[in-house]
A and B are shown apart, each in its own frame.
Chain A
Amino acid sequence: MRAQFVLSEIGVGLRRNLTMTFAVIVSVALSLALFGGSLLMSDQVSSMKGYWYDKVNVSVFLCNKSDAESDPNCAKGAVTGDQKKQILADLKKMDSVVEKVTYESADEAYKHYKEQFGDSPLASSLTPDQMQESYRIKLKDPEKYQVIATAFDGRDGVQSVQDQKGILDNLFELLNLMNRAALGVMALMLIVALLLIVNTVRVSAFSRRRETGIMRLVGASGFYIQAPFIMEAAVAGAIGGGLACVFLILGRYFTIDHGMALSEKLNLITFLGWDAVLTKLPLILAASVLMPALAAFFALRKYLKV
């Protein structure tokens, strides 16, 4: 009886305020879709970080013959066998930061270059002796690049010390910035959604003041009087939350799997799986119900005397 009564009251209330309800649903859907999107984005960035930082090396490039003529760092000529031994020995001593050192000869470098850039005109004009030998150093902590740089930059036979992480960091910075922008838009949308809910509740309470007045007089409890309004907001919010979930699923489907098909075009990046998307959905649904309900509750304290 109670449940049926409350449910029918909710239906009546939502239909009476159809335009307002629609606005609430759309704004909740958009804000939560943005929220979910930016959650996924930051997950994506941190998983990419984990993946790439694991792969990045610090490279100590050694001077070759042609560098000796062109590069001031190599003014003392190409690297010698002794210098190489010394560098390797020093690297071995730094085992507190260095996890692994691999040596890449000029031939190997040439081979890798060919593999990566295959048929480009630059690759075809390249010869193995133009390539540099290098030590590829994998660090225990990718942040500790500076230690290697200070130890080897400017040393005889070393052309340059390069940190691949630096290049990646720029990319991640950009992604984080986009993420923060999305969160900002989300916050605005959320404020809009909550204000809309407050206003909807106000209108709803006003249009039902006759009913609530009678309820008060015959001694209906505060909960009983408020429940329909709060449920109304919660139902509208839940519909919006459901839509946000659909947006997220469609969003992943069309950007990554099909449509833009980023997973094929950017096959260097491992994209988040469906499980990452699905685990966000309960969070979004819970937020979509709780936030409007709370907003309605506080609005009622102001606009509905119990």
Chain B
Amino acid sequence: MCKALPRLRSRARFAYGHGHLPPMVRGVSVIRFDSVSKVYPKQNHPALRDVTLEVEKGEFIFLVGSSGSGKSTFLRLILREERASHGQVHVLGKDLARLSNWKVPQMRRQLGTVFQDFRLLPNKTVAENVAFAQEVIGKSKGEIRKSVPQVLDLVGLGGKEERMPGELSGGEQQRVAIARAFVNRPKLLIADEPTGNLDPQTSVGIMKLLDRINRTGTTVVMATHDQNIVDQMRKRVIELEKGRLVRDQARGVYGYQH
């Protein structure tokens, strides 16, 4: 099923494999990693080693690699759940190492995050779940009343505002999660295996939705194990292996080893 593509390992060739953006150009990139390494305390092997890459505004990126390859660490660095041990991480033009703790929430308001396990609040309705993301950053009631139905329409859940998450299918729950991630119109959407719990057909629907969000200008970084999706979408693929960036390929496929 996998096409036998040559395995390309040279970082020198592919670090800026996306091509047309030299590393000196700043401010345009949504994510910029400069020789980033991450070693967790009390561990010998780094979770991420010397990763350098750049993601431009409006890109759609698949992050692939086996479990333990460093995908999660990569995403956690972007969210500033963790700090890099070496090197610099820039997100939306900000050096996260220099960002003081109290400014982190402001930065996160420009990011949206979606997870494999949806992470909805089971005792709140669909609309309340989405509104929660706005309430807790102090948006006005009027604004919430306007934007929640809008975003629910966008994800195809118009009419299901008052349902509880437990009454929805997995795909619909993930749509709620995406609506919640997108309701504050983030510049960057991070999806950590958003289709991991869904069947292939439902996954296609979710991917179409993420593609639609991407087309509004939102950069999407999606970690995934789903080979079909990666092969079909033909977007930029970044592959990590044992913490190293081993492939950065425009219009890539998942890889042949799986």
Contacts and interface: CB of A to CB of B under 8 A. Distances in A.
Nearest to A211: B121
Interface in A210-250: 210-211, 213-222, 224-225
A214 B121 contact: yes
Contacts of A216: 105, 108
B108 A218 contact: yes
Interface string A171-209: 000000000000000000000000000000000000000
A214 B132 contact: yes
Nearest to B110: A219
Interface string A9-51: 0000000000000000000000000000000000000000000
B137 interface: yes
B218 interface: no
B141 A218 contact: no
Interface string B180-212: 110010000000000000000000000000000
A5 B105 CA distance: 19
B76 to A, nearest CB: 11
Contacts of A210: 119, 121
Interface in A59-108: none
Q: How large is the interface on B (under 10, 10 to 19, 20 to 34, 35 or more residues)?
A: 20 to 34
B113 A219 contact: no
Nearest to A215: B136
Interface string B99-133: 00110111111111100000101000000000011
A150 B133 CA distance: 84
Contact of B133 (A214, A224, A225): A214
Given A1-B135, A224-B138, A217 B108 contact: yes
Given A1-B141, A214-B119, A219 B132 contact: no
B257 interface: no
Contact of A219 (B107, B135, B141): B107
B135 A217 contact: no
Contacts of A2: 135, 138
Given A210-B121, A213-B119, A218 B138 contact: no
Contacts of A224: 136-138
Nearest to B135: A5
Nearest to B132: A214
Contacts of A217: 79, 108, 111, 113
A218 B119 contact: no
Given A214-B121, A216-B108, A217-B108, A222 B136 contact: no
Contacts of A1: 135, 138-141
A178 B108 CA distance: 57
A217 B133 CA distance: 9
Interface residues of A, number: 18
B136 A218 contact: yes
Contacts of A213: 119
A218 B133 CA distance: 6
Contacts of B104: 219
B102 A218 contact: no
Contacts of A214: 119, 121, 132-133, 136, 180
A89 to B, nearest CB: 81
A219 to B, nearest CB: 3
A210 B129 CA distance: 12
Nearest to A212: B136
A221 B133 CA distance: 12
A64 B45 CA distance: 102
Contact of B109 (A5, A211, A218): A218
Contacts of B105: 216, 219-222
A219 B108 contact: yes
Contacts of A222: 101-102, 105
Nearest to B106: A219
Contacts of B180: 214, 218
A218 B184 contact: yes
A211 B135 CA distance: 12
Nearest to B184: A218
Contacts of B140: 1
Interface in B21-46: none
Nearest to B183: A218
A225 B139 CA distance: 15
A214 B109 CA distance: 12
B247 to A, nearest CB: 28
Contacts of B137: 218-221, 224
B19 to A, nearest CB: 32
Given A210-B119, A222-B102, A306-B101, 10 more contacts: A1-B140, A5-B135, A5-B136, A214-B119, A214-B136, A219-B110, A220-B136, A224-B137, A224-B138, A225-B136
28 contacts: A2-B138, A5-B135, A210-B119, A210-B121, A213-B119, A214-B121, A214-B180, A215-B136, A217-B113, A218-B108, A218-B112, A218-B113, A218-B136, A218-B137, A219-B104, A219-B105, A219-B106, A219-B107, A219-B109, A219-B111, A221-B105, A221-B137, A222-B101, A222-B102, A224-B136, A224-B137, A224-B138, A225-B136
Give the 9 A-B CB pairs with smallest separation, nearest first.
A219-B109, A219-B108, A220-B136, A218-B133, A219-B105, A215-B136, A221-B105, A1-B141, A217-B113
